[in-house]
Structure 1
């Protein structure tokens, strides 16, 4: 559930969200009281497991706040916690207390139990007053016309106890309604942004996480490069090198036959050697194509996509709206990633048609591969999509998969456009059904 995008429906939905936030402030008050009591009990042994329980309960409450505030603002607030420590209660309590995110949660707990209570009470109070005094004259004139009035409007200086008298309060209700409509959402959004500052990860935590991701991507890229080098060495040794060695032996036998004045048999061996040479050249070409396809160097990313579509066993349409030339390493990564996704579709999707859309969205290059197959695609260790994710991680790219059971499947590969060199050869937008 999220806040509607339409301004009118969003404002009408906000009272419900405020009720939810108000209930969370009541929970915050209870947790704050429990935390204070636990701080007194922690000097005794019984207070240690209670402290662990209370701190974990505060984390559950904070995660709920992150989800609610994130849905209200339309943002994602990641949990800033490190992996939980295992061990005795005292070790877990010490680990929780030492983590900075725990104290930020506690700070937001104290703020939400006090300021949050007042903010949501003010918002709901103004909304309630506007509704109450707008409908009161109608209720007194209809439903409660013959019955004793259940409404008490004694302001001390005057008692509004009849429909005519309560009409005098309508301007006050309208003023509250205008104030709620004009400033109520701003008040709630201001308070929600305050929550993002405390509940979200700090700049240091984000930097640490980013360094860890880059280190992991570097290690994966280095491992992938080492595996590729081993594959190339194996293919050369078992393929082209063996053929060239056999070719050398065949030519040696032909030379010996010529020295024995047996030209017919020597000519046959020379013919075999020629065929073996052609086979070795073809293997080397295939090997080079796996390292860097010549079509990328000759025709660029657009031409390579078109060639890939023509060679695919399924009908593949390519829509390329990218107007900048990609640098060679990034171009190769995008080519092989797209090729791997198309290979996965051939093996597992049971699709009848595929569409590849390449676009530029502000500072990103986005490649979408869509198929009408059976769906159910997901990341699995060592699988094709996992390999695509690891390949693009070296360029700070991401892969998202939307593949419900029954299809269709959309694989979206996003690469930062900072890696795109502007002013290169233009890739014309086109569609080419394969």
Structure 2
């Protein structure tokens, strides 16, 4: 659909939105009146449960406003409320609600919407109604009301436009109202909606607090993941390479003893066994190092590492590389291991026959899409592999989205904020030069 068609569709849909918003202003007026009455009752005990119920009703109304305004503007307005204890007493719940800043912002928008919102939507719908009514009125007098002997219409006091011919004189008024509605009506409603976003959305301080909390949680999860990785590496070294090296030392000691006893053939057999053990230990250490940071990732970057991963995967994996730029090493490692975990999850559970990996870098975001034709039904389970991927990405302010309906297909979309290494280095040089 073209941009012009989108604008026409959007503006023709605005009267319906305005009717809905007008209905919400009537609800706001009723809630505002209930708030005044509750303020009188709150001095008595019976007013406390009424106040809690009213606060929750206002929140329900405010959430409806957030959805309507968000859909109208095409934005997401998150609810700024703090989590309330579930088993608190009524007086404690009322106190928590009163102390929360978002409650008073809801009250402010309630008062504004019950008064200014009523006038804004009434004016918008009035101009629209004038444009439509006086455009179709001549046709109505000729068709629907042509049998009426003396139709009472358009009695302005100074002149009666009561015939089809006379009502044609009001068409310029309708056209003027229509032009005003088309030209400024949407801007008028959007201005009022943006005012609602300022009051209904979280404050900058609340956003910053939530962001700090998310980063703290991501940091704690990253620290836990790093500690778990260190324990795994220690366990693998102790149970694998260290045990083999200890056995290798014993084998060489036995070979040395055989040589002292002048039994070279048996000693040669033990030396050959020790050589094979040494080769096995090297292979095991290489696998362990590859799990820490794959050499191919350092040598060929993320694109080459994903291609190598696709070649080693038991399923047919096609990689569409649209990355282009070199990324910082920590981001490349996070993207590599996240993709590897998703592919491992597909191998274990999806029952897929083919997989596609698409890597793009646009607008400062690295996007990795992994699609398979498996049975679907995948979910992010706490403590599971996909949950670990989400936590790994969260440490870099990344996102993890899963679309896996029953029966498939499954699509995993991972994003990571990134910057070009060259650009970052240039910026650093400029900063140091200053």
Instruction: Describe the SS at the equivalent of 2:361.
Output: strand
| Conserved 8 A contact 1:324-1:423 | no
Moved over 4 A (4+): 148-151
Higher RCO structure (Cα 8 Å, ≥6 apart): 1
| Conserved 8 A contact 1:330-1:419 | no
Deviation at 1:126, TM superposition (A): 0.6
CA deviations on 1:313-360 (whole Å, 9 max, x unpaired) are: 222111111122111111111100011111112222222222111111
Partner Cα separation in structure 2 for residue 248 and residue 232 of structure 1: 22
| Count of residues in correspondence between the two structures | 421
Deviation at 1:116, TM superposition (A): 0.3
Partner of 2:396: 395
Instruction: Describe the SS at the equivalent of 2:45.
Output: coil
Partner of 1:29: 29
**How large is the Cα RMSD of the aligned pairs?**
1.6
Cα 1:148–1:76 change in 2 (3 A) is farther
Deviation at 1:384, TM superposition (A): 1.6
| Conserved 8 A contact 1:324-1:422 | no
Partner Cα separation in structure 1 for residue 149 and residue 214 of structure 2: 70
Partner of 2:232: 231
Q: Does 1:18 align with 2:41?
A: no
Cα 1:339–1:362 change in 2 (3 A) is same
Partner of 2:241: 240
Cα 1:5–1:360 change in 2 (3 A) is farther
Deviation at 1:289, TM superposition (A): 0.6
Deviation at 1:255, TM superposition (A): 0.9
TM-score by length of 2: 0.94
Partner of 1:430: none
Partner Cα separation in structure 2 for residue 52 and residue 420 of structure 1: 54
Partner of 2:317: 316
| Conserved 8 A contact 1:359-1:365 | yes
Partner Cα separation in structure 2 for residue 43 and residue 187 of structure 1: 42
Instruction: Describe the SS at the equivalent of 2:412.
Output: strand
| Conserved 8 A contact 2:327-2:419 | no
Q: Does 1:271 align with 2:272?
A: yes
Q: Does 1:154 align with 2:168?
A: no
Partner Cα separation in structure 2 for residue 158 and residue 102 of structure 1: 53
Between 163-172 and 116-125, the greater mean CA deviation after superposition: 163-172
Partner Cα separation in structure 1 for residue 361 and residue 330 of structure 2: 18
Any gaps of 5 or more consecutive residues in structure 2?
A: 426-434
Cα 1:95–1:5 change in 2 (3 A) is farther
Cα 1:94–1:5 change in 2 (3 A) is farther
CA deviations on 1:280-317 (whole Å, 9 max, x unpaired) are: 11111111010001111121111101101111122211
Any gaps of 5 or more consecutive residues in structure 1?
A: 425-434
Partner Cα separation in structure 2 for residue 66 and residue 148 of structure 1: 51
Deviation at 1:211, TM superposition (A): 0.5
- After TM superposition, list the pairs within 5 Å mapping 1:282-321 onto structure 2: 282-321=283-322
Partner of 2:428: none
| Conserved 8 A contact 1:80-1:205 | yes
CA deviations on 1:18-69 (whole Å, 9 max, x unpaired) are: 0000000000000010011111110011001000000000000000100110
TM-score by length of 1: 0.94
Partner Cα separation in structure 2 for residue 396 and residue 296 of structure 1: 21
